[in-house]
Amino acid sequence: MTINLRPPHFRDPMALDPSAELPLPIDSELLDTPSILVDLDQVERNIASMASLAKRRGMTLRPHAKSHKSTFIADLQLDAGATGLCLATAGEAEVMWRHGVADLLLAYPVLGRAKLDRLAPIVEAGSLTMVADSVEVASGYSDLACRTGREIAVLIEIDSGMRRAGVPPEQAGAVAVEVDRLPGLRVRGILTHAGHSHAALDQRGIEEVARDEVRAMQQARETVERAGVTVEVVSAGSTITTPYLSSDDGITEVRPGTYVYNDLRTLSRYACTPDQLAVTMLATVVSRGPARATLNAGSKSITTASTVQHGHGHLVNRPRSGFALLSEEHGVLELATEDDDLRVGDRVQILPIHVCVWMDLQPEVYGTRGGQVVQRIRVDAMRRSL
Amino acid sequence: MTINLRPPHFRDPMALDPSAELPLPIDSELLDTPSILVDLDQVERNIASMASLAKRRGMTLRPHAKSHKSTFIADLQLDAGATGLCLATAGEAEVMWRHGVADLLLAYPVLGRAKLDRLAPIVEAGSLTMVADSVEVASGYSDLACRTGREIAVLIEIDSGMRRAGVPPEQAGAVAVEVDRLPGLRVRGILTHAGHSHAALDQRGIEEVARDEVRAMQQARETVERAGVTVEVVSAGSTITTPYLSSDDGITEVRPGTYVYNDLRTLSRYACTPDQLAVTMLATVVSRGPARATLNAGSKSITTASTVQHGHGHLVNRPRSGFALLSEEHGVLELATEDDDLRVGDRVQILPIHVCVWMDLQPEVYGTRGGQVVQRIRVDAMRRSL
C-alpha cells in the first residue's frame, strides 16, 4: 500500500546547491559528487585551436554538438567562427534550433513521422540540412519538404571505410541522382565519418584512415558530379582525422565533436595532448579497504567505456591507481602504494574515457576557472536520442 | 550570434506520442524508437516467482529498485508482498519515499551534507535504514540523527568477497560496537552484496560464491553478537545468489533487483531462463549495407555493457546476427545470411545485456501485453545518482 505524496514541483537534485553563489571553490560541500567539472580556460583554448586549424586549412568548421549537448558551449563555438552545428538526433537539433542556431546539419538518417514532424519548424525556417544514404530515408525527407513547402538540402552519406552507414563512393552518383530527383530535395554535397580511426593500430594507421577518407570523398565527388549533380559541400573530419585534412584535398567542411573537451580515447588516438583534457568527474571516496578505495562514481556515471591502456578511467595526478571494478554506483580503485593516503570523504578527479557519453548523463555540468566553479552549464540536450 | 527562442514549456520528447490512446500495437508509428518495451505479464510472473522463492525459504524480500527506478514497478513488488525497497542513492530513496513507500533501506555509504540533508524528511518519518562500513560514514548518520531527533537504524556492510565495500567479517564486531555507540544510531544487523558472482567461472563457481556469502554473514553475525550488539537483520542475496540462500543459513532478508526484468548478464549466470527476459529495446534499421544493418540504438541507449557470449546485445529471434560496432547513436549489426531480409525502416527488438543501466537512460518505458502497449511507465528515478 502506497499513497502518492509526490508534490507537483518535485525536481531532480543538482550537484551544485541551487543557492550556491559563484565563484565557489571546487572543494566546497555545496558541490556534491559525482559531478562534472569543465575547465573553461582550456575549453576556450581547444575551441580556438580547432577554429584556427580549420581556417588555416581552408575548411569551414561545423562542430558536432553531440559531444557537449549544451547551448552554452555551442555559443562559444559559434562565437569563435563555427559556421553552424552538426547534430546526431532530431532532439539535439530541436534544442539548438530553439536556442537560435540558424545553420544545423543533422548528420543521421532520420526515419519516421514522429521525428520528421518535430523537424518541420526547422525546415520551415530554412535552417536544416539533412543526410541520407538511401532513397528510403530520403523519401521521408521529400514528404517533409512537400508538407512544409520548403526545399530541403541533402548531403549523401559516403562510407569511407567505417562500415557503419553510407554508400560506397562508386555508388554515390546513382544515389545522389535518385535523391535529387525526389520532390522538394536538392543534393548539395557529400558527407562521411571515418570513425574506423578508433580501430587503427597506431598513429600511422590513423593517418592511413584519414587518407582513405580523402580518397573516398574525391571518388564520391567525381561519381556524383559525373552523374550531373553539383557538389558544393564535402563534409568530413572527426576530432581524430581533422589534423590530416585540408581544402587542398577537396574537403570543404569538418565536423569534429570531442575536441571541445577531449578524452582519453582521443588522447590515445594522438588527437590531443594531456593538457588539453578539459573535463573531469569529481568523485568521493566512500569506502576504503586494503589497497582499495571505492568511489561514488560507477557505470551509471562514468559508463563502462574503456581503452586498453586506461581501463575505465584515470585519476588526475594518480596514474598508478586504476579501476579494478565498476558497479552501477561504485567505482572500485585498486590503489598503488603511493595513493594509500586516500581516506573516506576525500575527493578525486577522474579523466573521461569517452566524454560524449558522460555528457549525456548529467543535466548540468560546472565550468571552472583557477579551481573555482564560475558557471553552471546546462546540458540542454541530455538524453535526447529521439 | 544566437537569439534565445526557447519557449518556457519546451519539453523533452517521449517515444510514445503524448496523444496516443492505449492499447496501441507496438508497430504503430506513434511509438518512436529507440524505446523500451516491458512485458507486463512476464514482469508479474517474475515478481511472483521471486516472492514465492523468498517466502518458501523463510526470508523477507526487499527488491532493489535501482533496476527499475520506477514507482509503478515498485508498487507491483510491494503488492506482491515485498517488505519494502532497497535503494542505491539518496535520489532514488527520495523518489520512493515521496511516492509513499514507508520502509526504505539505502544500501550505500552516504557521505556529505548535501545528500544527508535531503534524507532528513525520510529519517523524520522513521522510514529509513542506512548502511555503513566505517565510522567516518556512520558519523554523518549520527549528526543527521541528532539534527532530526530521530534514531537511525544502521546495518553494517560486510565484505563477503567482492572487495567493493564492507568490512571483513572478523572486523564486523568492532565496527558495529563503534557505530552503535554513536549518538542516535542503533545497529540492527548486517548486510552484504556478493557481486563477485559475476566473476565466477561457471554455475558451480556461483554456488561457491553464495556459500561464501553465507559463511561470511554467519561469521560476521557471531563477531557482532559476541561484541554485544544484537543482530536482527541479516540482509544478503542478489538476483544471482538468492536461489542458493535460505533462512536455515541465517539469512533473514534478500535484496535482488534485476529479477524483475532479467537480462543476458543474469541469464548467463543461470539466474533466469530465456522466457523470463521481460524487457527489449525497440530499434529501427536506419541503414543497410552488405551483411550490415545499422540500428538507431547505440551506446547512448544500449550502453557499452557486454558479455563474452552476447557482445553488446542480442536480437529477439535473430540469434546469428550480433553487434559488430557501437557508436553513440548507431548500433551496427553484422548480419547472418538468414537476416538479410532486414530493410531500412524495419524494427527489431534488442535484449539487454544489463537492464539496470538501460533503465537509467529513459524517462518513460512502455508496458505491453500481447503485443500491445497498454501502459506508460514513468522511470521516476532516472539518472538520480546524487
Q: What is the DSSP letter of B357?
A: H
Contact residues, chain A, for B99 at CB < 8 Å: 2, 4-6
- Select the residue from A32, A98, A167, A361 to test the B interface by mutation, using most B Cβ atoms within 10 A: A32
Average pLDDT over residues A190-209: 97
Is A378 an interface residue toward B (CB < 8 Å)?
A: no
3-state secondary structure chain A: CCCCCCCCCCCCCCCECCCCCCCEECCCCCECCCEEEEEHHHHHHHHHHHHHHHHHCCCEECCEHHHCCCHHHHHHHHHCCCCCEEECCHHHHHHHHHHCCCCEEECCCCCCHHHHHHHHHHHHCCCEEEEECCHHHHHHHHHHHHHHCCCEEEEEEECCCCCCCCECHHHHHHHHHHHHHCCCEEEEEEECCCHHHHHCCCHHHHHHHHHHHHHHHHHHHHHHHHCCCCCCEEEECCCCCHHHCCHHHCCCEECCCHHHCCCHHHHCCCCCCHHHCCEEEEEEEEEEECCEEEECCCCCCCCCCCECCCECCEECCECCCEEEEECCCCEEEECCHHHCCCCCCCEEEEECCCHHHHCCCCCEEEEEECCEEEEEEECCCCCCCC
How many Å apart are CA A188 and CA A74, to the nearest integer? 24
Is A17 an interface residue toward B (CB < 8 Å)?
A: yes
What are the grid coordinates assigned to A58, written together?
581552408
What are the grid coordinates assigned to A21, written together?
553563489
Burial of A314 (0-12, 13-18, 19+ CB in 10 A): buried
Contact residues, chain B, for A356 at CB < 8 Å: 328
Residue type, A263: D
**pLDDT tens-digit readout, A154-189:** 999 999 999 999 999 999 999 999 999 999 999 999
- Select the residue from A12, A116, A192 to test the B interface by mutation, using most B Cβ atoms within 10 A: A12
Q: How many Å is the maximal CA-CA distance in chain A? A: 71
Shortest CA gap A245–chain B (Å): 22
**pLDDT tens-digit readout, A21-51:** 999 999 999 999 999 999 999 999 999 999 9
How many Å apart are CA A20 and CA A14, to the nearest integer? 11
Contact residues, chain A, for B354 at CB < 8 Å: 299
Contact B165 A344 (CB under 8 A): no
Name every residue whose Cβ is closer than 8 Å to that of residue B270 and which is 6 or more positions away in sequence.
B203, B206, B240
**pLDDT tens-digit readout, B107-128:** 999 999 999 999 999 999 999 9
* Three-state secondary structure call for residue B120: helix
Paired with B292 in beta bridges are: B289, B334
- Strands, sheet with B152-157, edge to edge from the N-terminal-most edge strand: B60-61, B253-254, B233-236, B185-191, B152-157, B128-132, B104-106, B85-87
Contact A344 B134 (CB under 8 A): yes
* Three-state secondary structure call for residue B182: coil
Contact A7 B98 (CB under 8 A): yes
Name every residue whose Cβ is closer than 8 Å to that of residue A88 and which is 6 or more positions away in sequence.
A64, A66, A106, A107, A108, B328, B329
Contact residues, chain B, for A294 at CB < 8 Å: 164-165
How many Å apart are CA B227 and CA B339, to the nearest integer? 64
- CATH class held by domain B24-39+273-378: mainly beta
HSE of B27 in the Cβ direction (CA atoms, 13 Å)?
6
Contact residues, chain A, for B112 at CB < 8 Å: 29, 32-33, 284, 345
> With a CB-CB cutoff of 8 Å, which residues 188-207 of chain B face chain A?
195
Contact B327 A164 (CB under 8 A): yes
Is A113 an interface residue toward B (CB < 8 Å)?
A: yes
Shortest CA gap B245–chain A (Å): 22
Residue A108's nearest CA partner among A191, A218, A232 is: A191
A32 to chain B: closest CA residue:
B114
B79 to chain A: closest CA residue:
A1
Residue B382's nearest CA partner among A383, A165, A54 is: A383
Return the number of CB contacts < 8 Å for A and B: 236
- Nearest CB among B5, B112, B136 relative to A32 is that of B112
* Three-state secondary structure call for residue B331: strand
Residues A343-358 as b/e (b if ≥16 CB within 10 A, e otherwise) read ebbebbbbbbbbbbbb
> With a CB-CB cutoff of 8 Å, which residues 127-156 of chain B face chain A?
133-134, 136-137
How many Å apart are CA A13 and CA A320, to the nearest integer? 34
* A1/A182: higher pLDDT: A182
How many Å apart are CA B62 and CA B71, to the nearest integer? 14
How many Å apart are CA A263 and CA A163, to the nearest integer? 24
Position B337 confidence tier, pLDDT thresholds 50, 70, 90: very high
> With a CB-CB cutoff of 8 Å, which residues 208-227 of chain A face chain B?
none
Burial of A120 (0-12, 13-18, 19+ CB in 10 A): middle
The domain A40-260 having CATH identifier 3.20.20.10: the answer here is yes
How many Å apart are CA A298 and CA B190, to the nearest integer? 23
Spatial contact of B180 and B229, defined as CB atoms under 8 Å apart: yes
- Nearest CB among A91, A100, A356 relative to B3 is that of A100
How many Å apart are CA A322 and CA A300, to the nearest integer? 18
> With a CB-CB cutoff of 8 Å, which residues 40-79 of chain B face chain A?
66, 71, 74-75, 78
The position carrying cell 538479410 is: B340
**Contacts of A42-48 spanning 24+ positions with Cβ under 8 A:** A42/A275, A42/A276, A42/A277, A42/A278, A43/A73, A43/A76, A43/A260, A43/A261, A43/A278, A43/A367, A44/A76, A45/A276, A46/A259, A46/A260, A46/A261, A46/A262, A46/A272, A46/A276, A46/A278, A47/A76, A47/A77, A47/A80, A47/A260, A48/A80
Residue B356's nearest CA partner among B287, B258, B238, B282 is: B258
pLDDT at A11: 74
Contact residues, chain B, for A94 at CB < 8 Å: 13
Average pLDDT over residues A196-220: 97
- Select the residue from B111, B238, B360 to test the A interface by mutation, using most A Cβ atoms within 10 A: B111
How many Å apart are CA B338 and CA B325, to the nearest integer? 20
Residue type, B293: A
The position carrying cell 547512448 is: B300
Contact residues, chain B, for A109 at CB < 8 Å: 286-287, 344
At B281, which helix (H) or strand (E)? strand B279-289
Contact B4 A99 (CB under 8 A): yes
Average pLDDT over residues A341-368: 98
Burial of B363 (0-12, 13-18, 19+ CB in 10 A): middle
**pLDDT tens-digit readout, B205-227:** 999 999 999 999 999 999 999 99
pLDDT of residue B8 exceeding 90, the answer is no
How many Å apart are CA A222 and CA A158, to the nearest integer? 13
**pLDDT tens-digit readout, A277-335:** 999 999 999 999 999 999 999 999 999 999 999 999 999 999 999 999 999 999 999 99
Shortest CA gap B112–chain A (Å): 7
pLDDT of residue A6 exceeding 70, the answer is no
> With a CB-CB cutoff of 8 Å, which residues 239-278 of chain A face chain B?
none
Report chain B's mean pLDDT, rounded to a whole number. Answer: 96
Contact residues, chain A, for B345 at CB < 8 Å: 111-112, 136
Length of chain B (residues): 386
Average pLDDT over residues A79-83: 98
Contact B159 A289 (CB under 8 A): yes
A382 to chain B: closest CA residue:
B12
Give the domain ranges of chain B: 24-39+273-378, 41-260
Residues B87-105 as b/e (b if ≥16 CB within 10 A, e otherwise) read bbbbbbbbbbbbbbbbbbb
Name every residue whose Cβ is closer than 8 Å to that of residue B268 and which is 6 or more positions away in sequence.
B307, B309, B310
Contact A286 B30 (CB under 8 A): no
A157 to chain B: closest CA residue:
B287
pLDDT of residue B277 exceeding 90, the answer is yes
Spatial contact of A37 and A282, defined as CB atoms under 8 Å apart: yes
Contact A114 B71 (CB under 8 A): no
- Nearest CB among B32, B98, B113 relative to A112 is that of B32
In this structure, the strands spanning B60-61 and B253-254 are parallel
Q: Is the peptide bond before A34 cis (omega within 30 degrees of 0)?
A: yes
Paired with B37 in beta bridges are: B280, B366
Contact A112 B29 (CB under 8 A): yes
pLDDT at A178: 98
Contact residues, chain A, for B91 at CB < 8 Å: 12-13
The position carrying cell 586506461 is: A310
pLDDT of residue A84 exceeding 70, the answer is yes
Is B384 an interface residue toward A (CB < 8 Å)?
A: yes
pLDDT of residue A1 exceeding 70, the answer is no
Is B305 an interface residue toward A (CB < 8 Å)?
A: yes
* Three-state secondary structure call for residue B276: helix
**pLDDT tens-digit readout, B141-175:** 999 999 999 999 999 999 999 999 999 999 999 99
HSE of B49 in the Cβ direction (CA atoms, 13 Å)?
19
Average pLDDT over residues A115-131: 98
Contact residues, chain A, for B332 at CB < 8 Å: 163-164
Q: Does ipTM come in above 0.90?
A: yes
- Select the residue from B9, B64, B164 to test the A interface by mutation, using most A Cβ atoms within 10 A: B164
**pLDDT tens-digit readout, B289-309:** 999 999 999 999 999 999 999
Contact B357 A289 (CB under 8 A): no
What is the topology classification, in CATH, of domain B41-260? TIM Barrel (3.20.20)
Contact residues, chain B, for A10 at CB < 8 Å: 98
